[in-house]
Structure 1
Amino acid sequence: MKPIRGTCLLLGAVFLAGCSAPTPPPLPAAESQTTSKPLASGLEAPWSMVYVKDTLLVSERDSGRILEVAESGQHREVSRINDLAAKGEGGLLGLAFLAPDKLYAYSTAESGNRIQQFTVQGSAGHLSLSAPQTLLDSLPSANIHNGGRMAIGPDGMLYASVGDASNPGQAQDLQALGGKILRMAPDGSIPEDNPFENSLVYSYGHRNVQGLAWSDDGSMYASEFGQNTFDELNVIEAGGNYGWPEVEGKDGANGQYTDPIAQWPPSEASPSGMAILDGTAYLANLRGEVLRTVALHAPATEHELLDGRLGRLRDVLVDPGGSLLVLTNNTDGRGRPGPGDDRIVRIHPGQADG
């Protein structure tokens, strides 16, 4: 089925400008006559979004800032990670929140990638964070392939993706944490029911996972950057081996590795953050510059939304009202920044397929 570009959703129509950036002009209307106005603008290499007590927080990769974004579009610095080693794709990456008051951040230090926990204090407009407690450090890091996506699963555990950090061989090494999805208790300890004894490893054989999400039935999904052949959308099973570096995309008749349910050439995709809403996976694509939808009950059913209108897309998040927030990533050194970049845009899926 040929993807349908930009015809399946209505973009939010109320402009709410960020306080630290000039008002950008409206985005051009697509052929479908949808309109687009950002929720917030003037962000610097943003990477991850998470809701904390119904308040939106955003991480900035290079500055190390964690920003609180109000519905007015204004944003303020809640905290800044000062001992950051922001090199290449490293820096302040993923955020995750566990109610009632625990925020997790994945960031790059000189000694490697790490996961830190903060206690959230205050209320909307006045949030603050405690000093960080490091739960896990010295994770593999490099200029590329740092992983960095985190999420709280329906089981209350913290999941984190760790890239292969330019060392593909460690993805198949169960004694190494690179090229893995990790699962840990909220305090950073190893859950007793993890698939490998005394190990944080939940799945392995990954190159660079940057999207994690769960469907309503509890199934776990991950989006992953390939190298030259295929990017992937995978169903993640405990203990599963997803093939890197032995294979990209579907393994075919061999059957030694777990196949993706969907795959794309990297030039058309490079999927980063993802969200699942009403049985449809929404994947923010960097090189492809589209918001790709995949119907989970029929993964061959895909649509490409936004069609380059916002440039590179880093993350997507379901907001409390059931709409989607899309985070652009044009100021990360690889994009083509426009007026007001980077932005957060609210979209309403409407009758989108899936």
Structure 2
Amino acid sequence: MFSYLIRRIAYGALVLLGVNLATFFLFFTINTPDDMARLNIGGKRVTQQVIDKWKSERGYDKPLYVNTERSGSERFTETIFWERSVSLFTLNFGRADSESAGDIGHEVAGRMWVSIQMALPLFILQVIASTTFALLLVMFRNTRFDFWGVVACVLMLSISSLFYIIVGQFLFSRVLKLAPISGYAPGLDAIKFLVLPIALSLLARLGGEARLYRAMFLEEIGKDYVRTARAKGLAEMGVMFRHVLRNALIPIITSAGSYLPYVFLGSLVFESFFGLPGLGSYVIEAISKQDFAIVRTMVFLGSLLYIATYILIDVAYTWADPRVRLS
């Protein structure tokens, strides 16, 4: 397994390098440093002196890839690519492009904990609720409960997240006044601000996940080992949890694991609508300000998190099924 993990980490590093190169090339092909300066200063009719000052403050006055005026290692280290792209691998994110934003690393470190406070409970509740609901549908298959449960899943799939947010805020904040409509407070006071967005985000994904898991369980329940377990006198509950659920863990791990980076990076829509100062709202603010430094950083972090997650998924396969060998 150790050699397999080393190879996967090496492949992941190559993928991360490719994403980093592609992102840098894309951003600086679309906009030159002068264009970025005009966007952030606020207008096209700005003097070249103001543009040069903005570029000098943020290190955009240097060559993109190679400094022809220097020799040796300085030809590469004193470039925009080295300072704004290669430095990401050391988690040195530098300064944001917009005037109102500061050090990106400081902002990410602070906002990360807000996103984690929403991501961890949401991820755990999502797996438990979806798996339990799907198991109940399979246990009562071909009944009215199963029929209306599938109908509910399709309805939940068909409704946009914005609908859940608008109705949830109106009902639970405006009418019932059970939760704040938006905002955030540190410490234990954060619970009252996080309960509603977590509940609505859970509801928005429950239909799709439960329907997927139901299909997996139905496929397992018709296999020979399940009929053998029933023939031995094992109760239906034991069949479902000791056999069906256990043998369906690999696709569940794959599905749940692929969603993990999304919840940890923050839900763009939910954090924005509920005023949570997490990474999701940070990205939305950066896009609205056309702050390419923040967007490049978040693309890098997203790629890093996805690569790490899929390596963890492979390791989790060996825990879920001892027959799986990583080689």
TM-score class, shorter: under 0.3
TM-score (norm 2): 0.24
Ranked by relative contact order (alpha carbons within 8 Å, sequence separation 6 or more), the top structure is 2
TM-score (norm 1): 0.23
Bigger CA radius of gyration: 2
Q: Which has a greater percent of strand?
A: 1
